[in-house]
Amino acid sequence: MVNASFGTVNVEVEGEAYPVVLAPGFEGLGQAVAAVLPAGRIVVVTNDVVAPLHAAAAEQALRAGGWDPAFVVLPDGERHKNLDIWRDLVGRLLDVPVDRRTPVLALGGGVTGDMVGFAAASVLRGVPFVQVPTTLLAMVDASVGGKVAVNTIQGKNLVGAFWQPRLVYAPFAALETLSDAELRCGLGEVLKHAVLGGEGPFAALEADAPALRNRGSEAVARAVRASVVCKAAVVAADPRELGVRATLNLGHTLAHAIEAVAGYGAIRHGEAVAMGLMAVTKYSEAAGWSHSGLSRRVAGLCVGLGLPARPADDLDRDALVRAVAFDKKRDRATITLVVPAAIGQVVLRNVPLTEVPALVDALFES
């Protein structure tokens, strides 16, 4: 990665701030954590895929910064992001043991960060939390903003908390170990942030799309920074999702339903977000809420990034309707839908549950 892409983006939340450090590798991790918390014992929670790849580098960097790390390894995958694994993690943290000054560090992707963050928010009524995202999806979205949760059989992220990290440290070197499919998964959230960000970020992403598909390091670095800047601004304005932060759910009402119906892990989150974003844009344009031609423009960038615009025909439509109707953003007989009126202009609309079948139909339109 080029040096110009590194540096710090600060996230201001309720009168306090924490840094998102964009770094070339793990080398500065220990010092970065020590800059925000007093060095001592730290618990690193990772998963059985990330541990062989990055645990040694993380441990070396932490020890160089004066930390004494203990490691907890979880099973990898969205299907393990549940209350049973969370309960086991809480018990293992208490067995370490941790006290209220012991930081808990999440080393991994969005699933790991969500699970560990929710445990950190719960153990001893809250311990310091550090995010070290190792996937593009986690770097551009899940690690920033403090929303932590686990899934239930009823849906995605239905049990959780708001628990802000003290630090996010994003080592770009970790992206080199991702498969093309995993890297592409992160581009779904990059696309969402570009739609939210306005014409400048959207046009920049259009220009960078070929390089992103080919894993161009400078293009990836620009995408990460642009997404973090976008999300940091929204989180600062609305840390607990009482207003404008709900716009970050663009595409997610359908995305969460797709993931639940397909079976967690069968369709990657970023791919589901791209499908959900396309569907809500088509639905909104048909309703006259969006500028004419918006769906075509979003579809063009979706294809340019190598993202799927729709799911397979055999995905259960009736189950999708039920899952959307159960979404946590439901309010009595309506759901709150994030609608793109134009690039950089999104609004919240209360949509009657009777309209959910039409929204799902939009998901399968070519």
Q: Write the DSSP string, 255-317.
A: HHHHHHHH-BTTB-HHHHHHHHHHHHHHHHHHTT-S-TTHHHHHHHHHHHTT--SS--TTS-H
**pLDDT at residue 242, rounded to an integer:** 83
CA-derived radius of gyration, the chain: 20
User: 3-177 — its CATH code?
Assistant: 3.40.50.1970
CA atoms lying within 13 Å on the CB side of residue 67: 28
**pLDDT at residue 303, rounded to an integer:** 93
**pLDDT at residue 140, rounded to an integer:** 96
- Beta-carbon contacts of 140 under 8 Å, excluding residues fewer than 6 positions away, are 186, 189, 190, 193, 223, 224, 227, 228, 231
**pLDDT at residue 327, rounded to an integer:** 67
Joined together, the tokens standing for residue 164 give: 């802000």
**pLDDT at residue 2, rounded to an integer:** 43
**pLDDT at residue 15, rounded to an integer:** 86
Which residue among 192, 245, 282, 329 is the active-site one?
Answer: 245
Which residue among 249, 271, 282, 310 is the active-site one?
Answer: 249
Q: How far apart are the C-alpha atoms of 154 and 289, rounded to whole Å?
A: 30
Domain boundaries, the chain: 3-177, 181-216+238-363
Establish whether 231 is a catalytic residue. Answer: yes
Establish whether 192 is a catalytic residue. Answer: no
Establish whether 80 is a catalytic residue. Answer: no
Establish whether 332 is a catalytic residue. Answer: no
Establish whether 245 is a catalytic residue. Answer: yes
Which residue among 54, 80, 81, 147 is the active-site one?
Answer: 147
Establish whether 189 is a catalytic residue. Answer: yes
CA atoms lying within 13 Å on the CB side of residue 273: 20
Q: How far apart are the C-alpha atoms of 195 and 249, rounded to whole Å?
A: 12
Which residue among 81, 231, 268, 329 is the active-site one?
Answer: 231
Establish whether 156 is a catalytic residue. Answer: no
pLDDT per residue rounded down to tens, the chain (366 residues)? 344 568 999 999 988 899 999 999 999 999 999 999 999 999 999 999 999 999 999 999 999 999 999 999 999 999 999 999 999 999 999 999 999 999 999 999 999 999 999 999 999 999 999 999 999 999 999 999 999 999 998 888 999 999 999 999 999 999 999 999 999 999 999 999 999 999 999 999 999 999 999 999 899 999 999 999 999 999 999 998 888 999 999 999 999 999 999 998 899 999 999 999 999 999 999 999 999 999 999 999 999 999 998 999 999 999 999 999 886 566 668 899 999 999 999 999 999 999 999 999 999 996
- CATH architecture for residues 181-216+238-363: Up-down Bundle (1.20)
Q: How far apart are the C-alpha atoms of 222 and 192, rounded to whole Å?
A: 15
Which residue among 156, 252, 268, 329 is the active-site one?
Answer: 252
- Which pTM value belongs to this model? 0.91
Which residue among 156, 269, 310, 329 is the active-site one?
Answer: 269
Which residue among 80, 256, 268, 282 is the active-site one?
Answer: 256
Q: Is 186 exposed, middle or buried (0-12, 13-18, 19+ CB in 10 A)?
A: buried
**pLDDT at residue 275, rounded to an integer:** 97
Q: Do domains 3-177 and 181-216+238-363 have the same CATH topology?
A: no
Is residue 239 within 8 A of residue 13, CB to CB? The reply is: yes
